[in-house]
Structure formats: C-alpha cells, structure tokens
DNA sequence: TCCCATAATCGCAATATTACGATAAATATT
DNA sequence: AATATTTATCGTAATATTGCGATTATGGGA
C-alpha cells in the first residue's frame, strides 16, 4: 500500500492527476510564476527567490522537468531554466477541458 | 522535515497548490468526472465505479469535501454527493488565470 | 594547475499519502 | 426489537514527499 492503483483508471485520468501533482506544491507554483514573469530563462537565483535550500530547489526543478513543463539548458557553469511552451499549452488545454462542463446545471443535492 | 514550508509563499501560491493537490490523484479525478457526468448526485455506487475499497473511496471523498469542491447531503441511510458549483468555478478561474500568460512569448533558452 | 562558483545527486530524518480491514454509528427493513 | 445497509472513522502497513547537509561533477577564472 501507499502506492496509487493507477491501473484502475484511464490514461487521461492518470495524466491529469500527474499534471496536478506537478503543481501541488507552492514552491513549484512559485517557480513557474517566476519563469513566466521573467521569461528571461532564470537559473540559480531561484534559490534566493524561494528561500529554500539549494538541494530542495533543485529537487523541485527536477520534478517540473520530469513533468515536462519546464526545460533546462546548460549555459557555462549554470543552468538556464524556462517554461516549455508546448507542454504548458497542453496543461492549459487539459485543465480547461476538465473544468468546462459544469457551468450550466446549478442544481445539486 | 517532510512538511511543506508554506510560510515562504503567498496565500495565492498556497491556495493554488492546495487545489492542485486535491486533483492530484486519479481516483479523485474519476470521482469529479463521474459527478459532472451524472450530475444526479451520486452516493455509494462510487465504490463500484472506482474499484477501490469502501474505506479508501470514503477517504478520497473526504479530501474533496475538505477542499470544498464537492458537498455531501445525507439522504436516508446513504449520502448524496455532488459538485459545489461555486467552488468549481473558483478552481476553473484560478487555474485559468495561472495558465494564461505565456502564450505570446515562445522564445526560450 | 589550483581554486571558486554552480547545480545535481546521495543519504537521511520527519511527515504525508494511499490503501485496506475492522469497527462504529445511523437509518431502513423485516 | 432484530437485522441489514450505508457510510465514516480508527488503526496499521507500505510507500511517497519534503527538506537539508554533505558530496560530487563540471565549467570559469586566477
């Protein structure tokens, strides 16, 4: 136990859940917002920006990279991170599709 | 350790992360999709629908209820769950606002 | 070449999540 | 009243996440 039973659910459901998981930490939200704001492909000033230790920040960056939503390019000694626009749009589209339907019917139990 | 350092981040960032966390499991995605589809405020057939144990299903329902995105009304011996349309729209709006900005600038590292 | 800066990874501790069986509480049915 | 149905909660085990110090690996100067 402790492991999600992914086989019970559709690929779409698992994908959406994985995307949500990538966003399910304020540090990762903050990283993405910062990257959106600066565009200019930041690197290690994220450590300062967040106030978390270097190791922790690096771990969050890795998770976002694994989720595909950001990419990193080596630039000398440092690494330049930025949003992956293609995947970003996929996230946007899928969340949008997920949240669309309910608006009409307001009656509930 | 093991605990998120929420005090480092803004209320907005923590809120978004909490919303994402509520969606960060395929069973909870499946529950929400089922409630959207049936509207008709389902109850315990979710256990059948999901294929998870009753205790586990109840636990996921509780998390969604705590997040505010669903509500439950007692109906005899069973409980009728449904989407909370107001909170649902808040989720939709916040995720939409989060994902909006990047579209213009496509250049990256 | 010898240091310094940057960032990834390892190892560990604390806590959270996921899942389930067993039990409890509340209502329905007989 | 006795029993069955439905759902919440408790307790527990397995695994995942969060966070950090220490270490490693790489590249840029001095």
pLDDT at residue B105 above 90? no
* Pick from A10, A13, A80: CB nearest B109: A80
Chain A neighbors of B6, CB-CB under 8 A: 26
A window 65-84: Cβ near strand D (< 7 A)? 74, 76-77
Tokens of B17: 């992360």
Q: According to the model, what pLDDT value does residue B85 have?
A: 92
A109·B73 Cβ contact <8 A: yes
* pLDDT, tens only, A70-100: 999 998 889 999 999 999 999 999 999 999 8
Q: Kindly report which amino acid residue has its CA closest to the C1' atom of nucleotide C28.
A: B77
Is residue A6, in this structure, part of any structural domain at all? no
Q: For the CA atoms of B109, A16, A19, B14, what is the dihedral angle to 10 degrees? A: 130
The CATH number of residue A74's host domain is 1.10.10.10
Is residue B78, in this structure, part of any structural domain at all? yes
Between B38 and A109, name the one with better pLDDT: B38
Is residue A20, in this structure, part of any structural domain at all? yes
Is residue A31, in this structure, part of any structural domain at all? yes
* pLDDT, tens only, B5-59: 999 999 999 999 999 999 999 999 999 999 999 876 787 889 999 999 999 999 9
* pLDDT, tens only, A43-77: 788 999 999 999 999 999 999 999 999 999 998 88
Instruction: Determine contact: A5 vs chain B, CB below 8 A.
Output: yes
Share in percent of chain A as helix, strand, coil (round to 5): 60, 10, 30
pLDDT at residue B104 above 60? no
Is residue A101, in this structure, part of any structural domain at all? no
Report residue A106's pLDDT band, with 50, 70 and 90 as the boundaries: low
Residues A61, A81: Cα–Cα separation, whole Å? 9
Report residue A10's pLDDT band, with 50, 70 and 90 as the boundaries: very high
Exposed, middle or buried: residue A86 (CB in 10 Å: 0-12, 13-18, 19+)? Answer: exposed
B29·A36 Cβ contact <8 A: no
Residues B56, A74: Cα–Cα separation, whole Å? 44
Is residue A102, in this structure, part of any structural domain at all? no
Cβ-based neighbours of A103, under 8 Å, separated by 6 or more: B85, B89
Q: Which residues constitute the domain of residue B72?
A: 11-96
Q: According to the model, what pLDDT value does residue B100 have?
A: 81
Domains in chain B, number = 1
* pLDDT, tens only, B70-101: 999 999 999 999 999 999 999 999 999 999 86
Is residue A73, in this structure, part of any structural domain at all? yes
Q: According to the model, what pLDDT value does residue B2 have?
A: 78
Is residue A43, in this structure, part of any structural domain at all? yes
Q: According to the model, what pLDDT value does residue B39 have?
A: 79
A 45-84 residues with CB below 8 A of B? Answer: 50-52, 71-73, 75, 80-84
Cα distances (Å, whole numbers) of residue A54 to A49, A79, A100, B14: 11, 13, 39, 21
Residues B88, A26: Cα–Cα separation, whole Å? 20
Tokens of A35: 């990257």
Which of left, alpha, beta for A108 (phi over 0: left; psi -120 to 50: alpha)? beta
Chain B neighbors of A82, CB-CB under 8 A: 108-109
């Amino acid at each position: 136990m402790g492991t999600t039973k992914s086989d019970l659910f559709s690929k779409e459901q698992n994908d959406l859940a994985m995307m949500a998981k990538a966003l399910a930490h304020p540090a990762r939200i903050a990283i993405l917002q910062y990257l959106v704001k600066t565009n200019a492909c930041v690197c290690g000033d994220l450590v300062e920006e967040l106030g978390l230790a270097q190791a922790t920040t690096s771990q969050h960056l890795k998770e976002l990279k694994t989720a595909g939503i950001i990419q990193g390019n080596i630039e000398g000694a440092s690494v330049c991170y930025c949003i992956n626009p293609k995947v970003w749009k996929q996230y946007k589209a899928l969340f949008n599709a997920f949240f669309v339907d309910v608006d009409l019917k307001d009656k509930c139990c």
